[in-house]
Structure 1
């Protein structure tokens, strides 16, 4: 088989008015040129726009309409030849050869293939028109401006395939790892029979050649590889090449084909996934094909290896593609690296049956066919283990089940699910699906730690003080079912970036009998890193970041941008750690899909990644640090809290999530408590068992925290001696707070009037303002915002529900003398939980002072929010704290913060650098 490369120079024309068919552009030559493969945007065709998009990245050369390409192609006119035009990845295509219309192809996810043979001459004018406006369906993230954009062009391989009249199609390789054989289904075209030679090779050797006689149409051949054949998995991504060729006795030549495959059996067995008979756990990430430099998914292997290797450095072994399917190179890279891939149909909507309201038979049939095309084109890749019908679907369960059954009957090599988070509040498990992917089983049976306010109740990481014992086992398979959970009727739900009304059927409490994967976990927002802006040097420009930067500058806080980013980012990392460890502690969970390792620069601009949108580190956490709590082997301490009393003795559970290549045999568990570099406690426990492919409860450990006179930060490290299995936890210990009687040299009050009167007299004042309300302050919350404030603010408002708080944690001037007796980091940590949960952050937009403790606001609102700040006013000095610590008598950290503030006020260090007049102070506190 010969490939005639068509990459290079083509005549080119933009057709924004879509008049080219009517005006016979296929018969014309064009004045412009383009180098293919390319998109309009990568080639910078047309007039660049100065438009600025706030909710997603901006493509200055965005184009919607028709694009036309034409060139001369010389081909042989031998009768024994067949010719096929192949476009690897494009939009809706139309093809003409010598002004003869060949046809069209609408696939968004697979290559376009056209048979040219009947129209071939020696010299041929080949014309291609690409349309990115007439899709049968919206296309999910295949066409969304939120991700790879609705680009127009032709990417990847572009060639004419020249082969003999007898050729093979629909080659499907069915591996059987247990029996070390493959079953190959092939369709013979153009001949009644052919003798086929089949052999297998890898980098080391070739297996014997076997001969088979094929008949016209579909055939099945079996090839036994023997007991020495190596299997494929995330740990052992062993690949083989399948070679097939026709042997022509008269000409002594071969027509040959080659396919990559791996021996693997990926199955759902009970409540777990298994790879080659061994239980595994999916550590997944979401991917929407966001590639800012090109505006489209790469088609070269090198780019995908770089991306997937980065994900693997952070412990990822699974990719879920949100309403999209990656290119061939992505599967090839995943094959090589050992990553489990789950493409998804490009659909985010409602599936209906004929006769139902708003039934779109054409669009629905297109999606079904697109699924079969995906299976045919990518199904041989060992990394392709799962497939989803779409994202957050609604509609007919019966129709979804029928479609699933058709796919399973057609290709049993993969596991199937009805979709990701379908029927959100009242999920179901269909007869034909192999696993469940969602966020809850009922309103209160939650499978992740964070939710939008409009999808309340929120998760445990948003609503509880840090607790490292929590897991989802009881949520997934409760000991006792609760009976009926929802009444029929219509409700309004969050749907994409908006809302919709859906009908809910009465449902019973569901106990899943298939593996459960938690959907889109995480989504912990942080402040943008504006230093990234110059990195968007390709197709997509970060004009949304530029808008946010200008807003912050207008608010007078541009100098704080980097501090806001780092403090909010550190809190987000801690939230992700808590989220992931909850998953690893959950024996009933089969995997998770995080959203996301990288930022999602669409849907309002969601800065939720520890990596930026280019898959580069933000400097918030090293890969090795992240793998401590996201890897195939994770040791976990079950701590009831992260703030303790000095001298307190606690019993700590130790768990091991072990899904590595080899068992952890007779491990020696080491627990060390450190004060900086000083070891305060060290204990080792020798276990006698082997631990492999499961979540195990090891022996508990007793930890006695030291007696101390002042608060202190400690680090607890747990590790398996002699391995890289290690994890660490920062805890805070507080002695009982000293009760001292303070001299009458400062005033403590809730009244701004009393504070101002005292300041006029030259007194020192500690103010716990009582007049904080919805107009002058923002409610305190420990956890950072979910996804992004602008998107969920509008959704909540349209649903008549509470708007998100929208803050991104605290920024703390940790070296300030007010914290002499209250050690702290520069960002939110556990000892601030009581404080921030009982506070309101005061809006200080009208003054230039810098708070000692800020609440970091989101990039839309940009309030200057102060929780603790100080000023010199009149003849006096004022320290303001927006959490009344006097009322938090049960909180030892809060009492110590109060003590530290009192000592500070009484010291000569109390010298506020910002001065305002009493009248100005009265003004900023005025309602």
Structure 2
């Protein structure tokens, strides 16, 4: 903005900005349309009042639930309500409402509504104590109307005053009566509900408030402003509940604007009058003070004429600042105070508002604050308050949250479809946190719709209540908008940018359409996870790459949407922290699952190991965004865990904002801080024939450029103190922004110690005396500015992988059995297609979001390695997954040793999803028959010339198997082991033909695909015509039963078959029923045992019903169980992989690992 944006007094025009005039006139139009005594409005302004002008209404109120919504008709406001309740407070926390049951109507779509049908949750459906798995449930649940009532006594000193009722936060729609007079209604989810009561006679009066927390407007049920996902469906009134007495000419509202180029403050003041029959002259004084020193920074005054019948007078004033000010930002969150006072014949009224001098704008791809580029390092907040259920309105709470954010290197918080109370803005102002606000919506929009109109109303309320806060720098209309939003939301952004240019506007946060983000011309900035198919988050930009190609044709600031979402195993210690409103039902269910699987003692180790893996992924995500020139920041999902939508344990902090213990703030700040050393390292796996190389850069978004910078680097073995190579250079000055090429480091690896993990470390030092930088004294008076590090693994270029003569290594179980019976040492490496369906694939990244909302067969959270086991003596590893393992897990399925009756202590455990808790072991050992068995499901056989990690693991395992140390403690029988091995292509090897032909998906050997029946009928019951699947074999084969796997990627599990019939035929015309039964609704494989072994050439499987009435049967895999020997050769090419094929929810936008 330049001075040309202003009208100047010497031109004969007013001395205020046109945008502020627009705001003033618009504000006047809005409020002039409101009857003064009947309709409330939310000013969000708290007058500077003497104690005798406020009555605190906190305490015990009379109360009654209105389940049938008859209170208005029956005039409950004129009756004395019978029950008692405390306000501020919410009714569900005080014993009112309904017990949680399987029929509770949850305001949510992002969970499994039929959870109580699932086999694993049936034990939690007891009426005495129902526990839901998809969220931390409230004590009670209630959607509907409740009435609150109390008597008040108006003092004589309030005679002739105008009285206002202030409800800091209510949910949802409030309607107020004083005595029998209806005052008005308010339905804001975001701002205070404030009611003009007019003049009340001294003495006793009764205030009655009807609160309706039902779905009074068509919000999407998953929007955090209305959803049960985080316990947001409370009914009550919280925060300050007060009566304010003001003169009959008072200050209704003040809006403040500052710029970087001038020291003037522009204020729009709305004067209200309740003396319509009397003309009034008033004086308006505006003073800017420094609240710390109490010095006056500038002042002005205006004389105002209030005409008869004029209820509102907008006044715009310029306040010249005569003293030096400090501009507000994350480094210097300096605040000033505007004191606005109106003097009239009705009395004197003052209002104080704190503000900061700042200007935010866009320049190309950069966001500039006070003409300096900023990089947003943000996290998500969805309005989760497990102790209270409602948003705290005390500043201390929000100071604590934002202090934690700063401690972890963040400068930004995005409120997802939620607007916090004023206390959050105040705390963010004080601490220098940049806020993005959303008006409670995650919606479909269309022109002329109710939600379009309500969006404008709610936005105006938010700007009036919180627009003066300097922390309020960004405004988004909705999370991931749907419908015809393109015709609505860009115009919203344009409209309010003109009305209030003090912040940046975007039509939405994240977009899920194929052509995301849609039109951007009217956006100040774009929050998105991808442009079409070109992603700006996820593994495609990791390991020294970035997202430059994805934003090649983008010329606006881009903030990455919901970065991260990587999960870690839960800590069950959190359960004891739930001492308030929400109950840890979900955690108790997860703990019960772990206990049943025998994994509960390992839970702390699972949390730590999976957390280390999670932190590695966050580091890669954050650094990839930070490396990319043209990206203006990111909004994590999340720094702390998310309790709803199935429970997403995506934080390095728990749901109470406490550290989970596997990464420290100092470690996190290495890659999430105002200044971050960067390295472009395109490979983490090296051999001794390579030359390690790294290009160094920096992202510097501190307060000023750094001068006299020394860059020091080193490459050290992780267990050694001295580096194998190091260096330093003088960088002179680092400007603000991103520098992608400070220098390139090259280190030959020919003579280094291998195999080993190495750490490449970069440190930035600032010289306080630049002339001290000499070869003789390079370390004099240095200050460490920043540091970062990256692990790499170096392996020998050549290694002897031959199997010693006393060890037999095989992929053929029949051969393995023979050698075990003979008393030999055997290493068995099962082919990836020869494991049963209880043995899922591993992944090179952890679970994304969670596997309740986003189910998949693949559910790995990391590895737990016994690194001191001699089997891994020649294979460098930590106790947890690091990047060298990615070469091994990309084509690996872990063996589910939970199927074994005998206890086994694995060498490497794969950590399974907490919802499933399978005991998965890629490497384990046991005594079997007369021999010793070492099982490794990692591929240590194929393409070893190109796979140094697999080569090294093979070397370590065969060396161990040949040694005296190979002495397994566990004993397993051959009968226990045989069921683990199952050819996934059995049906194809038996040359089965299937009818209908499209049902071939259920015998393709890949549970990530599924076949869905086709029906003309709307409901599937036993009485209706049913379909069937028929298999035809070339010859009669012996059949002992079937194994069936339900669809793996549908959280609603709509196609899970309940009742079924199986028939066999020897000729295809005469059929015999062999089994009629009931299946469970589960993701687990299910075995259908026949009464005996039958011989048949035709088989029919008939679904008779599904667990969810009206749904269509869906099957991922269906195979016969036959005593015939099935060859172990794969029917598919060697490149077979069990990749996820997509998600049932459009709200999941997970990127596949780039190396898959």
Shared fold, TM over 0.5? yes
- TM-score of the pair, normalised by structure 2: 0.73
1:380 aligned residue (443, 468, 474): 468
Q: Are residue 763 (structure 1) and residue 814 (structure 2) matched?
A: no
> Superposition RMSD on alpha carbons, in Å?
1.9
Q: Are residue 900 (structure 1) and residue 939 (structure 2) matched?
A: no
Residue 231 of structure 1: aligned partner: 327
Q: Residue 101 of structure 1: SS of its match in structure 2?
A: strand
Please give the per-residue CA displacement for 1:711-755, whole angstroms capped at 9, x wherever unaligned.
112222101122230011122111234316544211111111111
Residue 409 of structure 1: aligned partner: 498
Distance 2:91 2:531 in 1: 45
Residue 347 of structure 1: aligned partner: 441
Q: Residue 966 of structure 2: SS of its match in structure 1?
A: coil
Kindly indicate whether the alpha-carbon contact (under 8 Å) linking 1:708 and 1:735 is maintained by their aligned counterparts in 2: no
Residue 978 of structure 2: aligned partner: 922
Distance 1:12 1:440 in 2: 50
Q: Residue 788 of structure 1: SS of its match in structure 2?
A: coil
Residue 725 of structure 2: aligned partner: 681
Kindly indicate whether the alpha-carbon contact (under 8 Å) linking 2:843 and 2:859 is maintained by their aligned counterparts in 1: no
Residue 570 of structure 2: aligned partner: 528
Q: Residue 257 of structure 2: SS of its match in structure 1?
A: strand
Deviation of 1:193 after TM superposition, in Å, equals: 3.8
Q: Are residue 738 (structure 1) and residue 818 (structure 2) matched?
A: no
1:851 aligned residue (884, 889, 906): 906
Residue 246 of structure 2: aligned partner: 163
Q: Are residue 718 (structure 1) and residue 718 (structure 2) matched?
A: no
Distance 1:622 1:724 in 2: 18
Distance 1:573 1:646 in 2: 29
Q: Are residue 106 (structure 1) and residue 161 (structure 2) matched?
A: no
Distance 2:968 2:825 in 1: 11
Please give the per-residue CA displacement for 1:170-208, whole angstroms capped at 9, x wherever unaligned.
311011232111100111221654111111112112224
Deviation of 1:772 after TM superposition, in Å, equals: 2.6
Kindly indicate whether the alpha-carbon contact (under 8 Å) linking 1:429 and 1:436 is maintained by their aligned counterparts in 2: no
Residue 206 of structure 1: aligned partner: 296
Distance 1:554 1:804 in 2: 20
Stretch of structure 1 that moved more, 399-408 or 611-620: 399-408
Please give the per-residue CA displacement for 1:532-578, whole angstroms capped at 9, x wherever unaligned.
11111111011101111111222222222222211111100000000
Distance 1:104 1:922 in 2: 70
Residue 435 of structure 1: aligned partner: 525
Kindly indicate whether the alpha-carbon contact (under 8 Å) linking 2:466 and 2:472 is maintained by their aligned counterparts in 1: yes
Distance 1:547 1:571 in 2: 24
Deviation of 1:147 after TM superposition, in Å, equals: 1.7
Q: Are residue 572 (structure 1) and residue 614 (structure 2) matched?
A: yes
- CA 1:790–1:774: 2 relative to 1, 3 Å: farther
Q: Are residue 750 (structure 1) and residue 811 (structure 2) matched?
A: yes
Kindly indicate whether the alpha-carbon contact (under 8 Å) linking 1:526 and 1:608 is maintained by their aligned counterparts in 2: yes
Q: Residue 530 of structure 2: SS of its match in structure 1?
A: coil
Please give the per-residue CA displacement for 1:83-108, whole angstroms capped at 9, x wherever unaligned.
11010101211111112221211111
1:584 aligned residue (626, 637, 640): 626
Deviation of 1:118 after TM superposition, in Å, equals: 5.2
Q: Are residue 362 (structure 1) and residue 450 (structure 2) matched?
A: yes
Q: Are residue 690 (structure 1) and residue 769 (structure 2) matched?
A: no
Larger radius of gyration: 2
Distance 1:543 1:159 in 2: 36
Residues 444-593 of structure 1: pairs in structure 2 closer than 5 A: 445-449=534-538, 459-460=539-540, 467-477=542-552, 511-593=553-635
Distance 1:210 1:119 in 2: 34
Kindly indicate whether the alpha-carbon contact (under 8 Å) linking 2:840 and 2:857 is maintained by their aligned counterparts in 1: no
Please give the per-residue CA displacement for 1:813-869, whole angstroms capped at 9, x wherever unaligned.
111110111121111111111111121112222123232112211122222211111
Q: Are residue 11 (structure 1) and residue 62 (structure 2) matched?
A: yes
Residue 165 of structure 2: aligned partner: 85
Distance 2:590 2:224 in 1: 24
Kindly indicate whether the alpha-carbon contact (under 8 Å) linking 2:474 and 2:504 is maintained by their aligned counterparts in 1: yes
Kindly indicate whether the alpha-carbon contact (under 8 Å) linking 2:361 and 2:504 is maintained by their aligned counterparts in 1: yes
Q: Residue 887 of structure 1: SS of its match in structure 2?
A: coil
Deviation of 1:784 after TM superposition, in Å, equals: 0.5
Kindly indicate whether the alpha-carbon contact (under 8 Å) linking 1:142 and 1:148 is maintained by their aligned counterparts in 2: no
Distance 2:373 2:752 in 1: 46
Residues 720-869 of structure 1: pairs in structure 2 closer than 5 A: 720-721=764-765, 722-739=783-800, 741-770=802-831, 771-773=833-835, 775-793=837-855, 803=856, 805-847=858-900, 848-869=903-924
Q: Are residue 872 (structure 1) and residue 947 (structure 2) matched?
A: no
Distance 2:726 2:192 in 1: 60
Residue 652 of structure 1: aligned partner: 694
Residue 53 of structure 1: aligned partner: 132
- CA 1:690–1:396: 2 relative to 1, 3 Å: closer
Residue 1055 of structure 2: aligned partner: none
- CA 1:59–1:740: 2 relative to 1, 3 Å: closer
Distance 2:941 2:726 in 1: 38
Stretch of structure 1 that moved more, 914-923 or 93-102: 914-923
- TM-score of the pair, normalised by structure 1: 0.90
Distance 1:667 1:377 in 2: 45
Kindly indicate whether the alpha-carbon contact (under 8 Å) linking 2:836 and 2:979 is maintained by their aligned counterparts in 1: no
Q: Are residue 62 (structure 1) and residue 141 (structure 2) matched?
A: yes
Distance 1:429 1:279 in 2: 25
2:79 aligned residue (24, 28, 32): 28
Distance 1:666 1:267 in 2: 30
Please give the per-residue CA displacement for 1:491-519, whole angstroms capped at 9, x wherever unaligned.
xxxxxxxxxxxxxxxxxxxx322211110
1:175 aligned residue (258, 278, 281): 258
Please give the per-residue CA displacement for 1:373-392, whole angstroms capped at 9, x wherever unaligned.
11111100000011001011
Deviation of 1:699 after TM superposition, in Å, equals: 1.5
Deviation of 1:418 after TM superposition, in Å, equals: 0.5
Kindly indicate whether the alpha-carbon contact (under 8 Å) linking 1:586 and 1:695 is maintained by their aligned counterparts in 2: no
Deviation of 1:305 after TM superposition, in Å, equals: 0.3
Kindly indicate whether the alpha-carbon contact (under 8 Å) linking 1:85 and 1:113 is maintained by their aligned counterparts in 2: yes
Stretch of structure 1 that moved more, 221-230 or 116-125: 116-125
Residues 595-610 of structure 1: pairs in structure 2 closer than 5 A: 595-610=637-652
Distance 2:924 2:680 in 1: 36
Structure 2: give runs of 5+ residues left out of the alignment: 1-48, 101-128, 274-278, 307-312, 766-782, 984-1156
- CA 1:641–1:741: 2 relative to 1, 3 Å: closer
Q: Residue 462 of structure 2: SS of its match in structure 1?
A: helix
Deviation of 1:403 after TM superposition, in Å, equals: 2.1
- CA 1:120–1:733: 2 relative to 1, 3 Å: farther
Kindly indicate whether the alpha-carbon contact (under 8 Å) linking 2:864 and 2:879 is maintained by their aligned counterparts in 1: yes
Kindly indicate whether the alpha-carbon contact (under 8 Å) linking 2:446 and 2:487 is maintained by their aligned counterparts in 1: no
Residue 72 of structure 1: aligned partner: 151
Residues 315-326 of structure 1: pairs in structure 2 closer than 5 A: 315-326=409-420
Deviation of 1:144 after TM superposition, in Å, equals: 1.2
Kindly indicate whether the alpha-carbon contact (under 8 Å) linking 2:382 and 2:416 is maintained by their aligned counterparts in 1: yes
Q: Are residue 424 (structure 1) and residue 507 (structure 2) matched?
A: no
Distance 1:690 1:366 in 2: 47
Kindly indicate whether the alpha-carbon contact (under 8 Å) linking 2:841 and 2:857 is maintained by their aligned counterparts in 1: no
Deviation of 1:312 after TM superposition, in Å, equals: 1.0
2:402 aligned residue (308, 322, 325): 308
Distance 1:622 1:711 in 2: 28
Residue 714 of structure 2: aligned partner: 672
Deviation of 1:215 after TM superposition, in Å, equals: 4.1
Stretch of structure 1 that moved more, 309-318 or 28-37: 28-37
- CA 1:199–1:134: 2 relative to 1, 3 Å: same
